[in-house]
Amino acid sequence: LQMLAAILDPSQGRATVLGHDTVREAATITSRIGYMSQIFSLYGRLTVDENVDFFAELHRVPATHHRERKAQLLGFARLHAHRDRLARHLSGGMQKKLALCCALIHQPELLLFDEPTTGVDPVSRREFWDILYRALAAGTTIVVSTPYMDEAERCTRVALMHEGRVVACDAPGRLREQVPGAMLEVAARPQRQALAILQHALPQARPYVYGEHIHLHLKEATEDGGALQSLLERRGVTVAHTRRVMPSLEDVFVVRLAESAKSYPPLPASTSTVSAEEIAVEARNLTVRFDSFTAVDRVSFRVRRGEIFGFLGPNGSGKTTTIRTLCGLLKPSSGQATVAGYAVGGDPQAAKSRIGYMSQRFSLYEDMTVRENIDFFAGAYGVPAAQLPSRREWALALSGLQGHEDRLARALSGGVKQRLALACAALHEPEVLFLDEPTAGVDPLSRRRFWELIYGLSERGVAVFVTTHYMDEAEHCHTLGLLYGGRLIALGSPEALRTGMRAGEMLELECDQPIPALSLLQSTAQSKASLFGDRVHVLVDDAETAKPLILQRLQRAGHRVRRIERVALSIEDVFITFIEMEQARLSAARGKEKTA
């Protein structure tokens, strides 16, 4: 993307953008494109208004057009009310939307976006893509890199890259058709038990969790799921269905790379002995204030030994503040909490040997080797010198870096860095492990392998407290807590949250042009429509009543609908619905205050 943006010259070969050579005609290209990098896109010390004004002046946008365009973009991004706020004080999602407004202010012919939604919550991601669709409808060409496969599903064409090479490039539908064999979907409960059975019985099929289902890749298209269903039911697993499905883009990516990708050994043995009945983390009305701002507001929950507790919420909702408080890095303003038997707010050194922390932004020293990072964290966590050699070997095996001890951390791929960071955080065999967005920006294959490590630690009795914006990862957790505005607004297992939702029923439809279909359905007041990969999800009061009406509306507009059926609410649907319900509650409360 940097070469296409004429920022970096190619070592060999050449590239043309909008008919111009990226080396010889760089100035012509940069005036006609919008580029949004991974790291720097905004000036933190400027306000929202000032950032947009700066980029408008940079691109010589006429003053009259600039004012109208700015008002339009800030309206689309829902940033009007924050025009005077400094960019550095915005949440991550709001910063991304502001950066998009800055990139669009001069109405470029081509947009280049480098992972624009990494680390952004689902609500902000949907709003970000809504703005992209408007640019697309206006005739703008968009090139975007993303680790989110549901975002890739929305693109006209997709290039799958691995280690600097394009391994496949085609329309998403054609890429899915090229997967050999068949993809089998299994809906079973308990899901973790079903997954373990299938992984043992059919390791070559690489079973893995895909939302509320398990996917298996069968190399022979003639195989069916009857035998698998019988196997699971004999082992006490309830099977709702086994059926063949069209592979997702994530399936395509993993199937293409799994054969050539490096294999890792099983999780090394642990000497840790903890009881699954014990409470590892407990918060009771935990509150954290910064001056007049309440970042965490009377939060209460429990996490048991061996439990994977997923903490979800929009950017700026208080997730990281809660973790930092539980780790002893911040003091609570009120309320109580205990971690591994120690009271939060007391001596932070007392609990240090019992907890591990992998932060959102910093986990490794890039200028140190693999061995030096391991030894440093061993010292920081108080690993006895006599145990260091064995714990170092454990960490190297866990991260798959045996024989690479002298490589600099900066030379490792994103997925391997994450494995090493996890190994460093778990070196001292903690009872509680805090992971703050550990897989942000990591490819699907590496994410799956990372979660296999988390499962292994959980099975050894470690309580894992993890934050994530990947909604499919939320399905891996035993319990989910949803934070909004510092308040815990939902708590329960993924299944309990899904079945307890009383917001209506979900229809999923596939059609040739999902984006125009989405726009058409969004104009209907009786339903809520959103894009889910390359499909459209419509939340309705009654699926049987709404289905023929939606079908008729789309067909009248010339849309060819391939499939429309009721589906279970996804965790992303649940997440967004809870957020919308809370926003409506807060809006109603503010309205009552004004009239009182």
Do residues 254 and 395 share a domain? no
Do residues 248 and 321 share a domain? no
Is 70 a member of any domain? yes
Do residues 336 and 452 share a domain? yes
Neighbours of 452 (CB within 10 A): 14
CATH number at residue 570: 3.30.70.250
pLDDT computed for residue 261 by the predictor: 57
Is 153 a member of any domain? no
d(CA 481, CA 489): 8
Peptide bond before residue 190 is cis, with ω within 30 degrees of 0: yes
Is 164 a member of any domain? no
d(CA 518, CA 522): 6
Neighbours of 236 (CB within 10 A): 10
Do residues 115 and 41 share a domain? yes
Is 71 a member of any domain? yes
Considering only CA atoms, which of 406, 398, 472, 403 is closest in space to residue 439?
A: 472
Neighbours of 428 (CB within 10 A): 21
- Sequence-distant (6+) residues with CB within 8 A of 494 are 212, 474, 475, 477, 480, 571
- Sequence-distant (6+) residues with CB within 8 A of 377 are 424, 425, 427
Do residues 438 and 545 share a domain? no
d(CA 309, CA 397): 26
Do residues 291 and 243 share a domain? no
Is 151 a member of any domain? no
Q: Which of 145, 161, 194 is the last residue of a domain?
A: 145
- Sequence-distant (6+) residues with CB within 8 A of 423 are 374, 394, 395, 396, 398, 399
Do residues 479 and 547 share a domain? no
Q: What is the dihedral of CA 409, 414, 415, 416, to 10 degrees?
A: -10
Do residues 423 and 443 share a domain? yes
Is 158 a member of any domain? no
State the chain's maximal CA–CA distance in angstroms.
75
pLDDT computed for residue 26 by the predictor: 95
Q: Which of 493, 527, 560 is the last residue of a domain?
A: 493
Do residues 370 and 514 share a domain? no
Do residues 528 and 556 share a domain? yes
What count of residues does the chain have?
A: 596
Do residues 466 and 380 share a domain? yes
Is 116 a member of any domain? yes
Is 352 a member of any domain? yes
Backbone angles phi, psi at 186, to 5 degrees: -120, 125
Number of domains comprising the chain: 4
CATH number at residue 189: 3.30.70
Do residues 468 and 511 share a domain? no
Token pair recorded at residue 96 = 């991304």
Q: What is the dihedral of CA 571, 464, 188, 261, to 10 degrees?
A: 90
Q: Which of 211, 226, 258 is the last residue of a domain?
A: 258
User: What pLDDT tens digit does each residue of the chain (596 aa) get?
Assistant: 999 999 999 999 999 999 999 999 999 999 999 999 877 679 999 999 999 999 999 999 998 889 899 999 998 888 988 999 999 888 777 888 899 999 999 999 999 999 888 878 888 888 888 888 889 888 999 999 998 888 999 899 999 988 789 999 999 989 999 988 889 999 898 887 898 899 888 888 888 877 778 999 988 766 667 888 999 999 999 999 998 888 988 889 888 887 655 555 555 544 444 455 689 999 999 999 998 889 999 999 999 999 999 999 988 889 989 999 999 889 999 999 999 989 998 777 778 889 999 987 667 999 999 999 999 999 999 899 999 999 999 999 888 899 999 999 998 877 788 889 989 999 998 999 999 988 887 878 778 888 888 888 898 899 999 998 888 888 889 999 999 999 999 999 988 898 877 778 889 999 988 888 988 888 875 568 888 888 899 988 899 999 999 999 999 999 999 999 998 888 888 888 888 888 888 888 887 777 76
CATH number at residue 136: 3.40.50.300
Q: Which domain holds residue 317?
A: 279-493
pTM of the full predicted structure? 0.82
